[in-house]
Protein backbone atom coordinates (compact mmCIF):
# COMPACT_ATOMS: atom_id res chain seq x y z
CA UNK A 1 0.00 0.00 0.00
CA UNK A 2 2.88 2.41 0.77
CA UNK A 3 5.56 1.01 -1.51
CA UNK A 4 7.76 3.66 -3.09
CA UNK A 5 7.03 6.05 -0.21
CA UNK A 6 9.67 7.43 2.16
CA UNK A 7 8.52 8.00 5.76
CA UNK A 8 10.25 9.77 8.64
CA UNK A 9 9.32 8.80 12.21
CA UNK A 10 10.63 11.17 14.90
CA UNK A 11 11.06 9.70 18.36
CA UNK A 12 11.33 6.47 16.39
CA UNK A 13 13.47 4.73 19.00
CA UNK A 14 10.66 5.03 21.55
CA UNK A 15 7.81 2.62 22.08
CA UNK A 16 5.11 4.25 19.94
CA UNK A 17 7.60 5.43 17.32
CA UNK A 18 9.15 2.04 16.76
CA UNK A 19 5.70 0.45 16.36
CA UNK A 20 4.83 3.17 13.81
CA UNK A 21 8.10 2.57 11.95
CA UNK A 22 7.51 -1.19 11.88
CA UNK A 23 3.92 -0.89 10.66
CA UNK A 24 4.86 1.64 7.95
CA UNK A 25 7.61 -0.71 6.76
CA UNK A 26 5.24 -3.70 6.86
CA UNK A 27 3.04 -1.75 4.46
CA UNK A 28 5.89 -1.14 2.06
CA UNK A 29 7.30 2.27 3.06
CA UNK A 30 11.02 2.92 3.31
CA UNK A 31 11.51 4.22 6.85
CA UNK A 32 13.91 6.83 8.21
CA UNK A 33 14.01 6.78 12.00
CA UNK A 34 14.96 9.97 13.80
CA UNK A 35 15.63 10.18 17.50
CA UNK A 36 17.78 12.17 19.90
CA UNK A 37 19.44 8.94 21.08
CA UNK A 38 22.78 7.75 19.71
CA UNK A 39 22.29 5.02 17.09
CA UNK A 40 23.58 2.30 19.44
CA UNK A 41 20.71 3.01 21.84
CA UNK A 42 18.18 2.72 19.02
CA UNK A 43 19.35 -0.75 17.94
CA UNK A 44 16.14 -2.46 19.05
CA UNK A 45 13.97 -0.15 16.94
CA UNK A 46 16.26 -0.42 13.93
CA UNK A 47 16.33 -4.25 14.11
CA UNK A 48 12.55 -4.41 14.44
CA UNK A 49 12.13 -2.43 11.21
CA UNK A 50 14.98 -4.18 9.36
CA UNK A 51 12.91 -7.36 9.09
CA UNK A 52 10.49 -5.43 6.85
CA UNK A 53 12.77 -2.76 5.39
CA UNK A 54 16.39 -3.98 5.24
CA UNK A 55 17.47 -0.48 4.11
CA UNK A 56 15.92 1.29 7.13
CA UNK A 57 17.92 4.42 7.98
CA UNK A 58 18.66 6.05 11.32
CA UNK A 59 19.66 9.64 12.03
CA UNK A 60 20.40 11.30 15.35
CA UNK A 61 18.13 14.35 15.12
CA UNK A 62 17.09 16.57 18.01
CA UNK A 63 13.77 18.01 16.86
CA UNK A 64 14.56 21.25 18.75
CA UNK A 65 17.49 21.95 16.45
CA UNK A 66 16.08 23.49 13.28
CA UNK A 67 19.37 23.49 11.38
CA UNK A 68 19.82 19.76 11.99
CA UNK A 69 16.19 19.06 11.00
CA UNK A 70 16.54 21.08 7.77
CA UNK A 71 19.79 19.32 6.89
CA UNK A 72 18.34 15.84 7.55
CA UNK A 73 15.34 16.59 5.31
CA UNK A 74 17.47 18.06 2.53
CA UNK A 75 19.54 14.89 2.22
CA UNK A 76 16.51 12.64 1.57
CA UNK A 77 15.87 11.75 -2.08
CA UNK A 78 12.13 12.39 -1.58
CA UNK A 79 9.67 12.75 1.29
CA UNK A 80 6.13 11.37 1.37
CA UNK A 81 5.13 10.72 5.00
CA UNK A 82 6.18 12.41 8.24
CA UNK A 83 5.25 11.10 11.67
CA UNK A 84 6.10 13.88 14.10
CA UNK A 85 6.01 11.78 17.24
CA UNK A 86 8.94 12.71 19.52
CA UNK A 87 7.74 13.78 22.94
CA UNK A 88 8.35 13.92 26.67
CA UNK A 89 6.31 14.07 29.84
CA UNK A 90 7.60 15.07 33.26
CA UNK A 91 4.85 15.41 35.85
CA UNK A 92 4.88 18.36 38.26
CA UNK A 93 1.91 19.77 40.21
CA UNK A 94 0.88 23.16 38.85
CA UNK A 95 1.99 25.13 41.92
CA UNK A 96 5.46 23.55 41.73
CA UNK A 97 5.77 23.70 37.94
CA UNK A 98 9.18 25.14 37.06
CA UNK A 99 9.89 27.40 34.10
CA UNK A 100 12.36 24.80 32.89
CA UNK A 101 9.77 22.00 32.90
CA UNK A 102 7.28 24.25 31.06
CA UNK A 103 9.85 25.26 28.44
CA UNK A 104 11.13 21.71 27.85
CA UNK A 105 7.64 20.49 27.01
CA UNK A 106 6.95 23.37 24.67
CA UNK A 107 10.36 23.06 23.01
CA UNK A 108 10.18 19.31 22.32
CA UNK A 109 6.47 18.52 22.04
CA UNK A 110 5.29 21.65 20.24
CA UNK A 111 8.21 23.56 18.69
CA UNK A 112 9.71 20.17 17.73
CA UNK A 113 6.54 19.45 15.72
CA UNK A 114 6.66 22.92 14.18
CA UNK A 115 10.31 22.48 13.14
CA UNK A 116 9.85 19.03 11.63
CA UNK A 117 6.46 19.63 10.01
CA UNK A 118 7.27 23.05 8.53
CA UNK A 119 10.57 21.77 7.12
CA UNK A 120 8.77 18.72 5.69
CA UNK A 121 5.97 20.80 4.20
CA UNK A 122 8.44 23.17 2.56
CA UNK A 123 10.23 20.19 1.00
CA UNK A 124 6.95 18.64 -0.24
CA UNK A 125 5.85 21.95 -1.78
CA UNK A 126 9.26 22.48 -3.41
CA UNK A 127 9.09 18.95 -4.88
CA UNK A 128 5.47 19.41 -5.99
CA UNK A 129 4.78 16.21 -4.05
CA UNK A 130 1.53 15.73 -2.16
CA UNK A 131 2.36 14.20 1.21
CA UNK A 132 1.02 13.14 4.56
CA UNK A 133 1.97 14.77 7.85
CA UNK A 134 0.86 12.93 10.97
CA UNK A 135 1.54 14.33 14.44
CA UNK A 136 1.22 12.44 17.72
CA UNK A 137 -1.08 14.40 19.98
CA UNK A 138 -2.82 12.97 23.06
CA UNK A 139 -6.32 12.62 24.47
CA UNK A 140 -5.19 15.05 27.24
CA UNK A 141 -4.82 17.83 24.66
CA UNK A 142 -8.48 18.51 25.46
CA UNK A 143 -8.95 17.01 28.92
CA UNK A 144 -6.93 18.24 31.91
CA UNK A 145 -5.11 15.46 33.77
CA UNK A 146 -3.49 16.16 37.15
CA UNK A 147 0.11 17.42 37.33
CA UNK A 148 0.96 17.58 33.62
CA UNK A 149 0.02 21.16 32.73
CA UNK A 150 3.03 21.73 30.48
CA UNK A 151 2.33 18.48 28.62
CA UNK A 152 -1.39 19.08 28.08
CA UNK A 153 -0.78 22.64 26.90
CA UNK A 154 1.91 21.49 24.47
CA UNK A 155 -0.47 18.88 23.01
CA UNK A 156 -3.31 21.42 22.75
CA UNK A 157 -0.87 23.46 20.66
CA UNK A 158 -0.17 20.40 18.49
CA UNK A 159 -3.90 20.04 17.75
CA UNK A 160 -4.13 23.62 16.53
CA UNK A 161 -0.89 23.27 14.57
CA UNK A 162 -2.51 20.30 12.77
CA UNK A 163 -5.62 22.31 11.88
CA UNK A 164 -3.71 25.43 10.87
CA UNK A 165 -1.31 23.50 8.64
CA UNK A 166 -4.15 21.43 7.15
CA UNK A 167 -5.96 24.60 6.15
CA UNK A 168 -2.97 26.28 4.56
CA UNK A 169 -1.45 23.21 2.91
CA UNK A 170 -4.64 21.77 1.37
CA UNK A 171 -4.06 23.61 -1.93
CA UNK A 172 -0.73 21.77 -2.18
CA UNK A 173 -2.35 18.37 -1.66
CA UNK A 174 -0.57 17.93 1.68
CA UNK A 175 -2.82 16.28 4.27
CA UNK A 176 -2.16 16.99 7.95
CA UNK A 177 -3.75 14.93 10.73
CA UNK A 178 -2.93 13.60 14.19
CA UNK A 179 -3.38 10.48 16.23
CA UNK A 180 -4.40 11.15 19.82
CA UNK A 181 -3.51 8.09 21.90
CA UNK A 182 -5.08 7.51 25.27
CA UNK A 183 -3.14 5.78 28.03
CA UNK A 184 -0.82 3.27 26.38
CA UNK A 185 0.84 0.47 28.34
CA UNK A 186 4.26 1.47 26.98
CA UNK A 187 6.41 4.53 26.44
CA UNK A 188 5.72 7.59 28.54
CA UNK A 189 2.58 6.28 30.26
CA UNK A 190 4.14 2.82 30.63
CA UNK A 191 6.95 4.41 32.68
CA UNK A 192 4.48 6.41 34.77
CA UNK A 193 2.42 3.26 35.39
CA UNK A 194 5.53 1.48 36.67
CA UNK A 195 7.08 4.34 38.65
CA UNK A 196 4.21 6.53 39.96
CA UNK A 197 1.72 4.65 42.18
CA UNK A 198 -0.62 7.64 42.25
CA UNK A 199 -0.72 7.69 38.46
CA UNK A 200 -1.53 3.97 38.30
CA UNK A 201 -4.36 4.48 40.83
CA UNK A 202 -5.85 7.27 38.69
CA UNK A 203 -5.52 5.22 35.51
CA UNK A 204 -7.37 2.31 37.09
CA UNK A 205 -10.49 4.53 37.22
CA UNK A 206 -10.06 6.43 33.98
CA UNK A 207 -10.51 4.00 31.08
CA UNK A 208 -14.07 3.00 30.20
CA UNK A 209 -12.81 0.08 28.09
CA UNK A 210 -10.90 -1.09 31.18
CA UNK A 211 -7.36 -1.51 29.81
CA UNK A 212 -4.56 0.73 28.55
CA UNK A 213 -4.04 0.66 24.80
CA UNK A 214 -1.11 -0.78 22.85
CA UNK A 215 1.50 0.83 20.57
CA UNK A 216 0.27 -1.46 17.76
CA UNK A 217 -3.21 0.08 17.88
CA UNK A 218 -1.71 3.57 17.54
CA UNK A 219 0.64 2.45 14.76
CA UNK A 220 -2.26 0.93 12.79
CA UNK A 221 -4.05 4.30 12.97
CA UNK A 222 -0.91 6.03 11.68
CA UNK A 223 -0.79 3.67 8.69
CA UNK A 224 -4.47 4.44 8.06
CA UNK A 225 -3.69 8.18 8.06
CA UNK A 226 -0.84 7.56 5.61
CA UNK A 227 -2.94 5.37 3.30
CA UNK A 228 -5.07 6.08 0.21
CA UNK A 229 -8.15 5.32 2.36
CA UNK A 230 -7.79 8.73 4.04
CA UNK A 231 -7.25 10.82 0.90
CA UNK A 232 -10.24 13.01 1.87
CA UNK A 233 -9.19 13.53 5.50
CA UNK A 234 -7.24 16.56 6.68
CA UNK A 235 -7.20 18.60 9.89
CA UNK A 236 -8.53 15.67 11.94
CA UNK A 237 -7.46 14.42 15.33
CA UNK A 238 -8.02 10.66 15.41
CA UNK A 239 -8.54 9.70 19.06
CA UNK A 240 -7.82 6.15 20.27
CA UNK A 241 -8.33 6.39 24.02
CA UNK A 242 -10.56 3.52 25.13
CA UNK A 243 -13.21 6.13 25.92
CA UNK A 244 -11.03 8.12 28.38
CA UNK A 245 -12.21 11.45 27.06
CA UNK A 246 -15.88 10.57 27.59
CA UNK A 247 -17.49 11.90 30.72
CA UNK A 248 -16.87 9.50 33.59
CA UNK A 249 -19.57 8.23 35.94
CA UNK A 250 -18.75 6.32 39.13
CA UNK A 251 -20.78 3.32 38.08
N1 LIG B 1 2.64 6.35 25.94
C2 LIG B 1 1.47 6.95 26.01
O3 LIG B 1 0.57 6.53 26.76
C4 LIG B 1 1.15 8.15 25.15
C5 LIG B 1 -0.13 8.66 25.21
C6 LIG B 1 -0.46 9.78 24.44
C7 LIG B 1 0.51 10.35 23.62
N8 LIG B 1 1.77 9.84 23.60
C9 LIG B 1 2.74 10.50 22.74
O10 LIG B 1 3.39 9.53 21.94
C11 LIG B 1 4.66 10.04 21.53
C12 LIG B 1 5.72 8.97 21.73
O13 LIG B 1 5.87 8.72 23.12
P14 LIG B 1 6.15 7.26 23.74
O15 LIG B 1 5.07 6.99 24.67
O16 LIG B 1 6.49 6.30 22.67
O17 LIG B 1 7.43 7.59 24.65
P18 LIG B 1 8.94 7.12 24.49
O19 LIG B 1 9.69 7.81 25.58
O20 LIG B 1 9.02 5.62 24.43
O21 LIG B 1 9.36 7.71 23.07
C22 LIG B 1 9.65 9.07 22.88
C23 LIG B 1 10.89 9.17 22.02
O24 LIG B 1 11.14 10.56 21.73
C25 LIG B 1 12.54 10.76 21.78
N26 LIG B 1 12.85 12.16 22.01
C27 LIG B 1 12.74 12.88 23.16
N28 LIG B 1 13.17 14.13 22.97
C29 LIG B 1 13.55 14.22 21.67
C30 LIG B 1 14.08 15.27 20.89
N31 LIG B 1 14.33 16.49 21.41
N32 LIG B 1 14.35 15.02 19.58
C33 LIG B 1 14.12 13.79 19.05
N34 LIG B 1 13.64 12.75 19.76
C35 LIG B 1 13.35 12.98 21.05
C36 LIG B 1 13.01 9.88 22.93
O37 LIG B 1 14.39 9.60 22.89
C38 LIG B 1 12.14 8.63 22.75
O39 LIG B 1 12.80 7.66 21.97
C40 LIG B 1 4.88 11.31 22.35
O41 LIG B 1 4.60 12.44 21.53
C42 LIG B 1 3.87 11.21 23.45
O43 LIG B 1 3.46 12.46 23.94
C44 LIG B 1 2.11 8.76 24.35
C-alpha span between 158 and 188 (Å, rounded): 17
Whether 88 is in the pocket of ligand 1, judged by its Cβ within 6 Å, is yes
Burial 21-59 (b: 16+ CB within 10 A, else e): bbbbbbbebbbbbbbbbeeeebeebbebbeebbeebbbb
Q: Are 129 and 81 in contact (CB under 8 A)?
A: no
CA of residue 86 to ligand 1 center, whole Å? 5
* Sequence-distant (≥ 6) Cβ neighbours of residue 98 within 8 angstroms: 92
pTM for this prediction: 0.98
* Domain regions of the chain by residue span: 6-239
Whether 172 is in the pocket of ligand 1, judged by its Cβ within 6 Å, is no
Given 151, 199, 224, 232, which residue is catalytic? 151
Burial 153-166 (b: 16+ CB within 10 A, else e): bbbbbbbebbbebb
Residue by residue, pLDDT tens for the chain (251 residues) are 999 999 999 999 999 999 999 999 999 999 999 999 999 999 999 999 999 999 999 999 999 999 999 999 999 999 999 999 999 999 999 999 999 999 999 999 999 999 999 999 999 999 999 999 999 999 999 999 999 999 999 999 999 999 999 999 999 999 999 999 999 999 999 999 999 999 999 999 999 999 999 999 999 999 999 999 999 999 999 999 999 999 776 65
Pick the CATH number of 6-239 from 3.40.50.720, 3.40.50.2300, 1.10.10.60, 3.90.550.10: 3.40.50.720
Amino acid sequence: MLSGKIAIVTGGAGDLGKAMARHLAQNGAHVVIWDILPQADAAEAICAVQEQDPQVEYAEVDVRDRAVVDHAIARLPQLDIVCSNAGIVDAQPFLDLSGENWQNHLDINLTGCFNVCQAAARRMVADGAPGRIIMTSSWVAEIPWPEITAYTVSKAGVNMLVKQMARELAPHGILVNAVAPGIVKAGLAGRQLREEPQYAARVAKAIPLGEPGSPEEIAAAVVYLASPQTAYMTGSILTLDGGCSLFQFDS
